[in-house]
Every structure is written in structure tokens, then in C-alpha cells.
Chain A
Amino acid sequence: MHLESCIPLNLNRPIFMKNILLAITAAFMLFLALPAQGAGPVRIGFINSITGKEAQIGENLTNGAAMAVDDLKAKRVQVIMVQEDDGGDPKTALAAYEKLVTRDGVIGVVGPYTSASANVVASRADQYQVPLLVPAAAKEEITMKGYKNVFRLNAPADVYSKVLLSTVAPYRPKTIAYVYAATDFGVSTVRTAQVNAAAMGLREVANEKYQQGQPDYRATLAKVKAVRPDLVFLVSYDADAILLMRQAREIGLTPKAFLGAGAGYTTAQFAQQKDISPLVISATQWTDDVNWPGAADFAVRYKARFGKEPTYHAACAYEAVRIMTMSALNARDSRALCAALKAGSWNGIMGPVRFTSYGGFTNQNNHPMLVQQLQGGKYETVYPAQFSRKKLVYPYKR
């Protein structure tokens, strides 16, 4: 055997080097081309997870943002929204932000959706001094580092557990079990729930973290059932929620209350599952039955356009794009925009919005989260008292 013949050889021939150089040069040309810029419409950026594992929720944000742009245009507001996909990857989100601020000439950016991406982009926003408005990422850390150019519309992770536990606190439950997705949001939310639960004197009897996408949670749920918790605190995304509740019903898990944090328990799809969803209590950033200006109308128009109920993510993205554009109109550059966001206050479909500093947060909208319960196939707001029309049903019964 001639070993020499195996050697992939002689790459030094000019033809290779020339072709490689040609290919590399051609690739760079594409990125160096500068876009058309100039006065005229307000340019803002929007980073979102259009593809990748977070695409399910990302689509709601895409829809909400698109509706905001169309509504603004209908009001003769000249706005160009440059949309970037981060595929749920923080590095891509950062690249997208850098592209938006250095190449596309935007003066403000809405997004990214995921906590991981938002966390990375937020850490660089002060470097480029282009304000970032996070519409729906829940990780507390994002607005706790004192960044000057980072704003957040939605309430962070700790509020989910705070409002849920406050809702059931008057009924004096004794024990709590956690079942949650092994994601950033799942872990962050349960961590704050443990603190809040300890303060209420609740005893933790089970703590089950699961990998998303499993077809069978029955063994886990049977284990939870065996310790007979008063409260079952769940954090799950879209379809996992339905799966878990179906299997909980099968197994016969009946605590005094199911507390759902996270998007999975707040969807229309979940509400439609009439044999498993009734009386589940969930925390949400937004509902259409609260008397925030335009909320009900938004829900109607959204449904007509996209053929499904809006989630809170859609509402968050809608309002974030609206706030960013309205602030940018009078500002015209990033520094002025940042000041406008800091000073401004708005009252739209997300209720009153102001970016303030409190309890360790900077430029955080102290958004009142809502707690709703599925009663008669409809989400009814049951907490806080000023927004609720119906009374909480407790304890849970099949």
C-alpha cells in the first residue's frame, strides 16, 4: 500500500488558492454593500425567534409587531421596521443587533424574545448606545444590571410566582409541588416561587424538572400524586401544558389548585381542551377582558387577521413596537430616544407603562400581572381585585 497516495495532496497548485480567494472575496462583497439610508421614515429594528425551537412563541410576536406597524401606518406614521431572526441563538441575536445598529441605521431595537438572547444583547446595548426594548423575556437579570439603554415592558419571572401564590394565599394551602420545564424560564420561575412559597410557610413536597417534548410524564405525575400536594405549580410551554394536564387527569392527580406559570396555560388552545383545562389558574401579562385601552379591540382584530386568539406575547410585541415608534418619532436619534423612553408614559393595550427603577431593577415597567382561571371554558381574571370580575374557585375539583 502506498501511503503517499492517500495524502490529499498538492493544494498549493495556483488553481486552488485562486479559487479560494475568489470565493472568499465574493462572500465578503455581499456583506460590505451598504444599505440605502437617509432622512424619512423612522427606522426601528425588531429581533425575534422566527425559526428554531422558540419559533412557536416567536410567531405570536411577529404577528403582534406586524399589526403594530400596520396600525401606525394607518395613522400616517412613517415607520420602517427591520426584522431579524435570531433562531433562538444568543450569538445570532447579538450579530443581528450589531447589524441593525451599525448597518441598517435603526435608532431603537425591540426584542429579542428569548431570555438568553435578550440577556446577551442587553449586555452590549450600552456599548452601542442604541436603546433596546425587551417585549417579553422574563429573566430578572436583564434589567438588574443597571444598563442605561435597556428597557423592559413585561413583568419579570418573579412576578409570575408572586401573583399566583398571592391568589391562593387566603385559602391557606400547606404544601406545594413543582413540575416544570428544564428551561431558563422554568428554572428562574420556580426558583422565585420557592422563595415566595417559603415566605408563605408552604412546605415543598416534590420538585420535578422535565425535558421538554417527552411523550410520557405519567410516572412523574404519579410520583407527585403520591405525596398529595395542596398546590401543583407548573411551568410549561404551549403543548406541554396540554400533555401534562391530560396525563394528570388520567393518573387522577387532584390537588387543591393547579397553578400554571408560562405560556402553555394561557392559550386558547388550552382553554378548548374542556375535559382537562377547567379551573386551572394561570398567570399572564395580558388578557383582553381587562379595561386597558384598546385591549378588547386588539383581540378582535388579531383574531380576524390571524385566525386565532392573541397570546400575551403578541400583545407585548404590539405595545413594544408602538411605544418604540412613538418615542422615536420625536427623538430622531438614539440618545434622544433613550431619554424619551425614560421620561415617557403610555397607556395602551398593556395598561399604563412607565420605565422606572425599583427593587434592584432599572428601566423596568412595573407591570401588574394578572391571574386568570378557566371558568366555563373562558379565562376569567381573578386577581388582582381591581381587575377581577369573577371569584376564584377553590379548591379544585374535577
Chain B
Amino acid sequence: MLFFQSLISGILTGGVYALAAMGMSLVFGVMNISNFAHGELMMLGMYLAYYLFILFNIDPFIALLIIMPLTFGFGYAVEKTMIGRVIDHPSENQILLTVGFGLIMSNTALLAFTSDPKILTTSYSSSSISLPGDISVSIPMLLSFIITCALTAALYLFLAKTKTGMALRATSQNREAAQLMGIDVSRMSSIAFGTGTLLAASAGAMIAQTYYIDPFAGHTFLLKSFTICVLGGLGSVIGAAVGGIVIGLVEAMSSAYLSTDWKDVVVFVLFLAILLLRPRGLFGRKGEQ
């Protein structure tokens, strides 16, 4: 019972991790930037979901339809005015820029919304389905997992089938070559950052009702997202999706069979092991490190 319970909750939580990490991986692939403000972008999605629910009574899952275009636009604008300007700078400058941007976002939220945690409670926030063997499945987590799968599929199709998607992949493989082929790489960066923001915010919006919302709520997911990205191969979107679920499972299993306080250590050790043994990750391309 403990095993199956941990298995199911690990997979469902992993779905949220996956969605957050996919956005980061996309940004990394196309722009070659480690985005340390990714947690804050999730936080943005959480607050949007919260206020859409409180003010207009829009269910958080339906609200995704509003949140996605909004946050895409936000990400696009941020890339144009800020992140895109350091694309040729050394990586530590890029990291510090995103750190600074994250500080601005979280502390603006602190001023605007105070540090009081907000709890988004819908009619089904605490409800669950009971499976035989005394196992329960959280309904909001299940819903968000299904939507995550749909979004992953949509993103995959977008990257594989559309012209913009192919241009994104080309930019991700080789920026200079893509530019020579006539691809507007700076526009691709903006689109990638916009999409990354959209995915992070969606992850935030979906976890909002089973988590809590405060200006620093995204921090928990930042290092996890990095771990997942490396696990899946930096830049690989599908890798991030699988990596998310793996990390969700590792966490749940180490909580259940090791101890709750050491589970983060287990995750980081796994992270280093992967870096050493298979630095391009599970799905990364050769020579990416």
C-alpha cells in the first residue's frame, strides 16, 4: 500500500515538476541561458490563477486559457528588454541577471501582495478518488497531470511540425548556422523565453490549488527544475518531461523508504551521478556538455 501510494503521488507530483522543467529546458536549448528566475515565473502563474479565481471565479484549470497568452506576452517582452541583451555575455553574467530579475519579481510581489500565503481553495481542492488497497488519488493533481500530458504533446507537435517549431529547434542545435540559414534567431529567443514563461506559469497555476501561494513559492521548484533539465539533457523538452516524473518518483520513494529529511540529498546525489556518468542526460544530444 505504501509503495503504490508513493508511486502514484510521485508520478502526479512529477508531472508538475516536468511542466516547470520543460519551460526551463526550452529556454536553455534555444538561448543557452540558465534561467534562475524560473521559480518567480511559476509564482506569477500562481498569483494569476489565484486572482482570476478570487475576483472572477474562474476555475484555475480554465484560467490557463487566459494565463497562457498573458504570460507568453510577458516572457516575450522580458526577453526583448532584458534577457536577450546578454545572450552573448559570459554565462555567469546571464545567471546573475536572471537572479536579479528574480529578486525584482519576488520583491515586487512582496510589495503588491504582502508575504501572507494565499490558499486557493476550490470545491474539489481536498477531494480524492479511493482506489482498492486503501490508495487515494488527489483529483486536482490528477487533472493537472492530464493537462500536463496534453501540453507536453502540444509542445512536442509544435516543435516537430510547425515552421516556427522547426526554426526553434534549428536555433537550439546551432545558433550561428540557423542565423546563416535565414532564421531570425533573436525572434526565436523571444519566442522560446515566452513559451518557457508560459509553461512555468501554467505549472504554477496548476499547482496553485494543492500548494500555497506566496512571493517566494517558486523557489522550491528552481533547483528541482535544474536537476530535471540535466537529468533529461539540457535543452531536451521530452527529456525534461520524463526527468520530472523520475524526480517526483525518487522523492516520493526516498520519503517513504529512507527519510523525509534526506530526500533532497538523494535528489542532488542523483543529479551529480548523472552529470558524471551521462553528462548529456537521458535524452540529450551528444557533445552538448
Interface residues of A (CB under 8 A from B): 51, 53, 55-56, 58-59, 182, 208-211, 213-220, 222-223, 226, 238-240, 242-243, 246-247, 249-252, 269, 272-273, 275-276, 308
Chain A residue at smallest Cβ distance from B16: A215
**What are 30 A-B contacts defined by CB distance under 8 Å?**
A55-B115, A208-B259, A208-B260, A208-B261, A209-B261, A210-B260, A211-B261, A211-B263, A211-B264, A213-B217, A213-B220, A214-B220, A214-B251, A215-B13, A215-B220, A216-B10, A216-B12, A216-B251, A216-B252, A217-B260, A218-B5, A218-B6, A219-B253, A219-B255, A222-B5, A223-B255, A226-B1, A239-B117, A251-B136, A308-B116
Number of A-B residue pairs, CB cutoff 8 Å, is 112
The reply to whether the CB of B214 lies closer than 8 angstroms to some CB of chain A is yes
Chain A residue at smallest Cβ distance from B7: A219
B116 with A56: CB separation less than 8 A: yes
B216 with A53: CB separation less than 8 A: yes
A182 with B261: CB separation less than 8 A: yes
B119 with A216: CB separation less than 8 A: no
Q: Which residues of B contact A215 (CB under 8 A)?
A: 13, 16, 207, 210-211, 220
The reply to whether the CB of B219 lies closer than 8 angstroms to some CB of chain A is yes
Interface residues of B (CB under 8 A from A): 1-2, 5-6, 9-10, 12-13, 16, 107, 110, 114-117, 119, 121, 125-126, 128, 130, 134, 136, 138, 207, 210-212, 214, 216-217, 219-220, 248, 251-253, 255-256, 259-261, 263-264
Cα A386 to Cα B251 in complex, Å, equals 46
A226 with B217: CB separation less than 8 A: no
Chain A residue at smallest Cβ distance from B129: A250
Cα A222 to Cα B133 in complex, Å, equals 13
Cα A222 to Cα B138 in complex, Å, equals 14
Q: Which residues of A contact B255 (CB under 8 A)?
A: 217, 219-220, 223
Cα A308 to Cα B119 in complex, Å, equals 14
Chain B residue at smallest Cβ distance from A209: B261
Q: Which residues of A contact B130 (CB under 8 A)?
A: 252
Query: Within the complex, what minimum Cβ distance (angstroms) separates B252 from chain A?
Result: 4
Known: A246-B210, A252-B130. 14 other contacts (CB 8 A): A56-B115, A58-B115, A209-B261, A210-B261, A213-B220, A216-B12, A216-B252, A217-B255, A218-B138, A222-B9, A223-B256, A243-B210, A250-B126, A250-B138
Cα A251 to Cα B134 in complex, Å, equals 8
B121 with A243: CB separation less than 8 A: no
Query: Within the complex, what minimum Cβ distance (angstroms) separates A326 from chain B?
Result: 30
A273 with B121: CB separation less than 8 A: yes
B119 with A59: CB separation less than 8 A: no
Q: Which residues of B contact A269 (CB under 8 A)?
A: 117, 119
Q: Which of B5, B16, B138, B251 has the most chain A CB within a 10 Å cutoff?
A: B5
